[in-house]
Amino acid sequence: MKIRMKDIAKMANVSEAAVSLVLNDKPSRISEKKKKEIKAIAKELNYVPNMAAQSLAKKASQTVGIVIPDIENPFFSKLCKQLEEQFREIGYLTIIVNSNDDFTVEKSLIQMLLNRGVDGLIIALSNESFSSKEKQESFLKEIDAPFILVDRHVAFSGVNQVYFNSYNGGRISTEYLLQNGHRKIAFMTGDFKVPSTMDRLKGYQQALEKYGEELNEDYIIETGYRFNFGMEKAKNLFELEDVTAVITANDMVAFGVLKQGLISGKRIPEELSIIGYDRLEIADILGVSLATVDQNISLLSEQTVGLFQKIMTKRTKKTEQIILEPTLFQGESVKKIK
């Protein structure tokens, strides 16, 4: 038998309105003793609130849309998993959609989610959206719902964002190689249009300058973020005979370089040291102790959900920018040279 508020009210000898106030933590003149009694009865009876009725009353759907650029990328897959679990813990259902790194698809999906009445959005922007920053900014400012940009950030103000400090990611990885004696360091970047890519590149450049090394533009290789891009671009990398180390756009690209190394007979780290980005669990599964910049996905998700709660409960009126710090996992793919 389904337990209703009136059942709790009858047992507690109060009105249904009083039960509703207590269970929804609304302000009231009900004594603390009576509040505890009502909550205890609800717990004893295994009372489950009617979410549909609550949504109608609050004009909220208790759903959140999550828009990501590439579901096949393990970084975003894990991020979705973490977000779904943490949103579920606070009573939200998630709808996850994949833009396939297409700005037109991305805009369409966001509108579809809004039409379905989601309470808010978590958006990891597509690479293509950065092709026209004016169109990107115009579109984002027209979204008629609370939203948070996650992982990929924008330069303009008035937008809630949670992301990692990519400048420091590029800097600490480069400095680690320099500290291990490397001077000819290649950098396989992501898409140049994406701000986080350029931030990493700046960190790389600053680290080289700090150690008195000149930037060689031949060492900068633009790639995508997938395994096959790593394999393809590794051929260009291996032609740079004096290069002793490389920093890749992410771990998947690093795996592509490792694979091409096996095919080409390039020994890693004996002949080429390598640092990835993201610290994906797949490296452990493959038995590869890859040096990598660790972006703590659990922390990224936790901070995003926390900010979403603040926005939805109106505990913050101004937009917030939360910048998280990456760390370096040293692994065993970097050789110390003289």
Using the structure block, give the residue that is written with the tokens 């360091």: 185
The answer to whether 200 and 191 have CB atoms below 8 angstroms apart is no
As given in the structure block, the two tokens for residue 113 are: 């989610």
Mean pLDDT check: name the lowest of 65-69, 243-247, 259-263.
259-263
Q: Which domains does the chain have, with CATH numbers?
A: 5-49 (no CATH), 62-164+297-326 (3.40.50.2300), 166-295 (3.40.50.2300)
**Is residue 258 over pLDDT 80?**
yes
Transcribe 166-206 into DSSP letters. Answer: HHHHHHHHHHHHHHTT--SEEEEES-TTSHHHHHHHHHHHH
Residue 64 zone, left/alpha/beta (φ > 0; ψ -120 to 50; rest): beta
pLDDT (tens digit, 9 = 90+) per residue, 284-324?
766 678 999 999 999 999 999 999 999 998 876 789 999 99
DSSP class of residue 215 equals: P
pLDDT tens for each residue of 160-218: 999 999 999 999 999 999 999 999 999 999 889 899 999 999 999 999 999 999 999 99
3-state secondary structure 218-244: HHEEECCCCHHHHHHHHHHHHCCCCCC
Q: What is the pLDDT of residues 207-251, one digit of tens each?
A: 999 999 999 999 999 988 899 999 999 999 999 989 999 999 999
Alpha-carbon distance values, 213 to 26, 127, 175, 197 (Å): 62, 31, 11, 21
